[in-house]
Amino acid sequence: MGKVSENGENAGRGRLIALEGIDGSGKSTQAAYLCARLEREGISYYRTMEPTDSPIGALIRKILRGEMKTDNRVIAGLFVADRLDHLLNAADGIAAKVEAGMTVVSDRYYFSSYAYNSVDMPMDWVIKANEPSSEILRPAVNVFIDVDPDVALERIAKNRVRQELFETKARLELVRDNYRKAFRLLEEKERCVIIDGNRPEEEIAENVWEAVRDCIFEDSK
């Protein structure tokens, strides 16, 4: 079981928190802030990400690096398989961790598929293909760090080799639009919180914590 938080609320029930956003939006930065906060609150957590470091995740990264070519439907299917393995694998599947009372913080989950893989195929198809995962584990909240594509590109450029700027920006804009479309489509099924990510890290982290804290308090009512 998870621990009881200092403020007396029962934080023992497990849950998944999904962090979402375009590349360079600051998800992994915010995952680190959130986990540090959970630690301070005495809530047991597990930090993870998709694509995973499983053999399926490794294959996906190979394709993303352009070292292997395949059809877009195959890539979308690999993300579906990687997610199911992330949930169910016997060694460290997150479904069992949530069941055991942990707060799992994942850098990306199925909304990433809805946003990215719907650039190349119908969003309905991608949502349908991910139904097994949503049936196994729906996030307590999907936190979308919303960043202007220009800001995201500036951040990426600081870290990595600059890419084809125009193409990359056009793609990030499409992905951002798809996120918003998916949140609208699924607003009755999914809890989504959109946070302005064009601000200093600490301010964003405070808003992320508020969104997560609300879920934890609600759970324990």
Binding residues for ligand TYD, per CB under 6 A? 23, 50-51, 64, 79, 107-108, 112-113, 116-117
Q: Output the six-digit token pair for 162.
A: 């600059």
- Taking CB under 6 A as the criterion, the residue among 65, 67, 69, 159 binding ligand ADP is 159
Q: Output the six-digit token pair for 20.
A: 């979402």
CA dist., res. 103 & res. 188, Å (int): 23
Q: 19 or 216, CB closer to ligand TYD?
A: 19
Site mask for ligand ADP (CB under 6 A), range 11-50, x = bound: ----------x-xxxxxxx---------------------
Closest approach of Cβ 118 to ligand ADP, in Å?
19
Q: 141 or 156, CB closer to ligand ADP?
A: 156
Closest approach of Cβ 49 to ligand TYD, in Å?
6
For residues 185-208, one letter each, b for 16 or more C-beta atoms within 10 angstroms of the residue's C-beta and e for the rest, the string is ebeeebbbbbbebeeeeeebbebb
CA dist., res. 103 & res. 45, Å (int): 4
CB atoms within 10 A of CB 218: 11
| Interface contacts to ligand ADP, rule CB under 6 A | 21, 23-29, 155, 158-159, 200-201, 204
